[in-house]
Amino acid sequence: MSSPPELRLNWCSHEAAKYAVEKWHYSKSLPAGKSVKIGTWENGVFVGVVYFSCGANPHLSSPYGLLKTEACELTRVALGNHKAAVSRILKIALLFLKRHCPLLRLVVSYADDGQGHHGGIYQAGGWLFVGTHSGERAIVVGNKKIHPRTAYALYGTTRPQGSSVVAASAKHKYLMPLDDDMRKQIEKLRKPYPKRVGSADSGTPLNQSGRDGANPIPTLHTIEGCSHGS
């Protein structure tokens, strides 16, 4: 029986996050806006990134009575060939985020039904499922499907030349409170977990290849709720 890998999470650079997302995440694109990029290493080898940002929804925090600085979205989990459970990696990333971003009280994430994801990694991590929502329109540029806000940030318009508009798939919404009071407040929103319907159970492919990685450097691009602590 092989020993578990030495797992380490720390800040990573924009370049490393971009590499991981383009290589290992189905979206192949980084979200626009301020972000926190937490790299993941196993036995010293870079295997991916956990990416938090302000999210595409400008009203992300308002349904929960929070300021914009008090909520963020888990927007990408992009992992290559790794041995540690994704739920364990997420748990450590959340602890890391909470420690260095003391103003944050809530993390929101979505599992894309169109990709066959029901949120298995969130269910394993004890996130609260609060419902399934119809997707907004998406912009297809080349072979990439992106949010209109991301299109505007990248191209200065929501309709770049040669792009097309498609209906986005439904999203399963999950919440992770970062303090006890927040958990008590949102517990009433909890609904039964959706069941697995496809072949994937996370936001990352089941068969991920490649142990080669970018050369991450410890830089932090903060979201508003963060302060760089020790």
- pLDDT tens-digit readout, 106-143: 999 998 866 556 788 999 999 999 998 776 666 777 77
Which string of b and e fits 56-92 if b means at least 16 CB within 10 Å?
A: beeebbeebebeebbbbbbbbbbbbbbebebbebbeb
The DSSP code for 148 is H
- pLDDT tens-digit readout, 51-72: 999 887 889 999 999 999 999 9
Question: Given a cut of 50, is residue 48 above it in pLDDT?
Answer: yes
- pLDDT at residue 29, rounded to an integer: 87
At residue 217 the predicted structure's pLDDT band, cuts being 50, 70 and 90, is very low
Query: ∠ CA(25), CA(26), CA(31), 5° rounding?
Result: 70
Residue that has been written with the tokens 């985020």 in this structure: 97
Pairing of strands 106-112, 71-79: parallel
For residue 63, how far is the Cα from the chain centroid?
20
Question: Given a cut of 60, is residue 210 above it in pLDDT?
Answer: no
Question: Given a cut of 70, is residue 177 above it in pLDDT?
Answer: yes
Edge-to-edge strand order for the sheet containing 71-79? 7-11, 35-42, 45-53, 71-79, 106-112, 171-177, 128-133
Tokens at 44, concatenated: 């010293």
At residue 157 the predicted structure's pLDDT band, cuts being 50, 70 and 90, is confident
- pLDDT at residue 1, rounded to an integer: 63
Tokens at 98, concatenated: 């909470």
At residue 147 the predicted structure's pLDDT band, cuts being 50, 70 and 90, is low
Q: Which domains does the chain have, with CATH numbers?
A: 1-133+171-230 (3.40.630.30), 136-169 (no CATH)
Mean pLDDT of 45-52: 97
